[in-house]
Structure 1
């Protein structure tokens, strides 16, 4: 069964532009990004920049079979893009701590959904 995952981490306000630059680079490297998603067992990954009470937060939505497998695969990854992602996150996040506590009330996907993503 697919597990939806929502995470939120506080971004250093002085590093928002660095985060935007990194996410732009990720969009320019779709083949590598898809390869890491497959390695991690992630079906969908979406990153959002949110402002809550004027403060920036990085929010991720993922769909996966196993959250634990995702984190294990990322920790053991040999992909350059994963190492770069980890380095950027260490720089731009105030803390790696997840600050969202969301209960999944329901999750449903249309079997007709497209894999196309809009920038």
Structure 2
């Protein structure tokens, strides 16, 4: 499994758009889950974060291949993908994608096989 995370710096006054995005995804979970299955994603999580008065979205993915996740999602097979990318473009500040450097990911089902 691979994993990735990052911050998306939000444009000012986009809280309503973020809530629209969250509620749309929440009401279309079957479609969102179908996207994750297509992408071989095990976990996708999103969080709101505020740092020094600046607002961000924090995302986390665990999948077979992070590169493949983005390749498949950009095909916009599901209408929810198009909605997601269009809304993210509206709310993300210029140069607002901050990629995190992976250090460690410990699955809850870890067992030592030695």
TM superposition score category, shorter chain reference: 0.7 to 0.9
Aligned twin of 2:105: 107
Unaligned runs of 5+ in 2: none
Q: CA deviation at 1:102?
A: 2.5
- Cα root mean square deviation, aligned: 1.6
| Runs of 4+ deviating beyond 6 Å | none
CA distance in 1, matches of 2:61, 2:69: 10
CA distance in 1, matches of 2:69, 2:101: 19
Q: CA deviation at 1:111?
A: 2.3
Alignment size in residue pairs: 110
Unaligned runs of 5+ in 1: 113-119
TM superposition score normalised by structure 2: 0.87
Matches within 5 A, 1:2-13: 2-13=1-12
